[in-house]
Amino acid sequence: MAQSTNSDTQADGLKSYENILREQINLGLEELQRPTSGLFLSGLSAGLDIGFGPLLMAVMTGLMTGSLSKPVTELLMANMYAVGFIFVILGRSELFTEHTTLAVLPVLDKRASYASLARLWVVVFVANILGGALFAAFAVTIAPKLGIAHAKAFTEISAALVKHDFLVLVGSGIFAGWLMGLLSWLVTAARDTVSRVLIIWIVTTAIGLAHLPHSIAGNVEVLMGMFLSAKITFVDYARFLLAATIGNAIGGVFFVALLKYGHVTRNTDAENVDDVDTATAAESE
């Protein structure tokens, strides 16, 4: 990777990795210091908003059935899946899977405690799940009556997620968490809204296309099917949610937070990101 010409930009005009890490840590600190009520309401909003992706997937399933080939239909559905993430991430609502990286970085940098991280994770996760459940219940009540999506579509979408073994769900959930951690990093690296939208769309479309289990979006997908079909049981739902959450957390923490933080701070003898800036300045003198 190109060396930075100063603490903020590289010779190619991109943000330096030190600056990206610094911004991520500051963002994470802001969220870790928010009151519990604010975190909960923001997480509730995210859980609700992300549901538009699965709902549009069900609508697309009904519209495209029999009219297009399966690969084309899958690609279109994956694009619909991305819509909810665009709403949530650009709207700056709290999403659990983003915080498997974002909120971990201040802890690694010794600026926040593990207790504050645990508080954020629990509050945001519970709020996300509750918001998703409310959206799912409302969507499966209204959508069939409007004729825009039917029970079969919701059931097919949820069945594709719960059919796998627990360990397969954990493993594929790691990929989803890994991608969401990268998404958080890349959104911070981007310099304008158009770039951020494109990054969110590419990453989350990839998650949707590969049917990787995202604990929060998948919560809505599986609940929609469970509310409408006896084929999807509460045990299926609980198993999916547990496996996806474990996998997402592993992917975000180990494959993004630890690696990104480590490669930035270990370029020097720095113990935290501020020491990196000091060391870089000293080397340039």
Q: Is residue 101 in some structural domain?
A: yes
Domain assignment present for residue 24? The answer is: yes
Burial (CB < 10 A; 0-12, 13-18, 19+), residue 266, is exposed
For 4-54, write each residue's pLDDT tens digit.
334 455 555 688 989 999 999 999 999 999 999 999 999 999 999 999 999
> Is residue 47 a part of any domain in this protein?
yes
What is the structure's pLDDT at 63?
85
How many domains is the chain built from? 1
Rounded to the nearest integer, the mean pLDDT of the chain is 92
Q: What predicted TM-score, i.e. pTM, was given to this entire model?
A: 0.90
Could you tell me if residue 25 is inside a domain?
yes
Q: What is the mean pLDDT of each run of 10 residues along the chain (285 residues)?
A: 44 81 97 98 99 97 81 94 98 97 97 98 99 98 95 95 98 99 97 96 98 98 97 98 99 98 80 60 47
pLDDT of residue 8: 59
Question: What integer pLDDT is reported at residue 108 of this predicted model?
Answer: 97
Task: Please enumerate in sequence order all residues whose Cβ is within 8 A of that of 118, keeping only pairs 6 or more positions apart, or say none.
Answer: none
| Residue 246: CATH number of its domain | 1.20.1080.10
62 burial class (0-12, 13-18, 19+ CB within 10 angstroms)?
A: middle
Helices 36-49 + 114-146 axis angle, to 10: 30
Q: What is the pLDDT of residue 64?
A: 80
**Within-domain flag for 281:** no
CA dihedral 65, 86, 116, 19 (to 10 degrees): 130
In a domain, 84, yes or no: yes
Tokens linked to 99: 């915080």
- Is residue 2 situated within a structural domain? no
CA–chain centroid gap for 62, Å, is: 26
Helices 193-209 and 166-189 sit at what angle, rounded to 10 degrees? Answer: 170
Residue-number span of the structural domain to which 123 is assigned: 17-264
* pLDDT at res. 282: 47
In a domain, 46, yes or no: yes
Please tell me the predicted confidence (pLDDT) of residue 284. Answer: 46
CB-CB contact of 213 with 243 (8 Å): yes
- What is the structure's pLDDT at 274? 67
Structure confidence at residue 285 (pLDDT) = 47
CB 213 within 8 A of CB 244: yes
Q: Looking up tokens 């079969």, which residue turns up?
A: 152
